[in-house]
Amino acid sequence: MGFADKYPEHWQANGSLSVFSQDVRLHHRLVKIHPFVNGNGCYSRLVSDIFLFANNHPLPVWPDKDLFVSGGVREQYISALKSADKGNFEQLEKFTARLIKEF
């Protein structure tokens, strides 16, 4: 049983994390394991959206072109992922939440 199968079920059974918080952790984990040479961010955002959609949660609107160009949004995203690497998901949750509320 893999991460995507095991943990959301555990979190839902225990009520320990909201669907949104589960999604942020799933998104981070998929980026971190880096299964492909290219496209890991796109893949993790797609799976993240599918997870949210399946759980009737509003979806973020990912700023695709801004995530590929060095600068503000990309740097915020990478900083949030690096913070999550250390176990602090707050920055990634805030980043993703802004993408839901802004659109």
Total residue count of the chain as it appears in this document: 103
Active-site annotation holds for 10: no
Tens-digit pLDDT profile for residues 42-71: 899 999 999 999 999 999 998 877 777 777
Cα of first residue to Cα of last residue in the chain, in angstroms, is 35
Q: Show the low-confidence residues of the chain (pLDDT under 70).
A: 1-15, 102-103
pTM of the model: 0.80
Q: What pLDDT, on the 0 to 100 scale, is given for residue 103?
A: 46
CATH number where 82 lies: 1.10.3290.10
Number of structural domains, the chain?
1
pLDDT of res. 79: 95
Q: What amino acid is encoded at 18 in this protein?
A: S
Q: Which pLDDT value is given to residue 1?
A: 37
Task: Report d(CA 29, CA 24) in Å as an integer.
Answer: 9
Considering 10, 27, 34, 57, which one is annotated as catalytic? 34
Helices (H), ranges, 34-71? 40-54, 64-68
Three-state DSSP class for residue 62: coil
Number of C-alpha atoms within 13 angstroms, CB side, residue 88? Answer: 9
Q: What is the domain range of residue 82?
A: 3-101
